[in-house]
Amino acid sequence: MKRLSVLLLILLLPAAMAQANIKPLPLPEDKGQPVGQILLHTAQEGDTLASLARYYGVSPILLLAANPDQDLFLLQPGQSVVIPNQLLLPRAQTQGIVINLAELRLYYYPEQNGEVYVFPIGIGRVGRATPEMITRISQMRKNPTWTPTATTRREYAAKGLPLPAVVPAGPDNPLGEYAMRLAYGSGEYLIHGTNDPLDVGLRASAGCIRMYPEHVEWLFAQVDSGTPVQIVNQALKVSTDQYGQTFVEAHEPLTPEGLADNRPLDMTALMPLLEQGADRQLIEQVIQNQQGMPQLVGQLR
């Protein structure tokens, strides 16, 4: 049986270099294969969970899930950290922008070049969840102003932070310097930057999709009005390659209420494997660990 090839790269990243890497991941010819590589970072003095997340373009939540036995809040020099830069593509059209809420990732597929760019995002908080949708970009805005909704104004006022009717462009604007309005609904949802990068990788917005400033600036230059956008919520991703190898990538399920879905596991996509006598207990354990990295669970004969 062909084995999953995982490349562990030993990388040294001084804290002073903790800046964004925007690099494409090549799409494999066999679309059932995982994309990217698992990396191993050796911590140096000054490294933090936030700086590693931003440099590698991985949400802090995914870093924590990939390192369940590590204390990433108090990184020590020499400590090894698994960087989950290998993934399965979401079940969606590989065009334009695809957002998978469950993994807090945005995928951008340039037209016909066999690559995908992957970015961490922040999404809607509990009670203001980002909805699933199939839509498009309807408006591109550089240095946007922000008109808070009445609900948002009340929320800020309750914290002693009154908001003006319109927040001008500038360092106090939570939309950052770039915003892309979506055509869904009444246009209340945006993909935008932020003036608080620590919110990226969390459920912290009022429903919009937040990106690091350097990421949204790059994406803004690649897309335009009309670019398709798909937002899905896939906590369990499954794929089978041409050799019959089946991979599973599991994340903690998200619901609008913020609670994990405790219903029995949906094993539909894995039924062919189970019917051939695969170890169901092993498969369930991989799924329940929710480490957010593709794992080989069996092979179809």
CA-based R_g, the chain, Å: 20
Q: Which of 41, 208, 215, 251 is catalytic?
A: 208
Rounded distance between C-alpha atoms, residue 184 and residue 207, angstroms: 12
Half-sphere exposure of 47 (CA within 13 A, CB side): 23
In the residue annotation, 215 being an active-site residue is answered as: no
Place of tokens 């998200």: 254
Whether the CA torsion 221, 227, 233, 237 is positive or negative: it is negative
Give whole-number Cα distances, 202 to 60, 103, 259, in Å: 8, 10, 14
Report the amino acid identity of residue 179. Answer: A
Place of tokens 């390192």: 67
Rounded distance between C-alpha atoms, residue 291 and residue 46, angstroms: 26
Q: What 8-state DSSP symbol labels residue 35? A: E
Rounded distance between C-alpha atoms, residue 51 and residue 60, angstroms: 9
Q: Which two tokens stand for residue 21?
A: 């890497």
Q: Are strands 295-299 and 245-250 parallel, antiparallel or unpaired?
A: antiparallel
Query: C-alpha angle with apex 291: 289 to 295, nearest 5 degrees?
Result: 90
Buried b (16+ CB within 10 A) or exposed e, 239-255: bbbeebbbbbbbbebbe
In the residue annotation, 208 being an active-site residue is answered as: yes
Q: Which of 41, 192, 215, 251 is catalytic?
A: 192
Question: How is 191-219 classified by DSSP, letter by letter?
Answer: EE--S-GGGTTSEEESS-EE--HHHHHHH
Rounded distance between C-alpha atoms, residue 225 and residue 236, angstroms: 31
Q: Would you name the residues annotated as active-site residues?
A: 192, 208
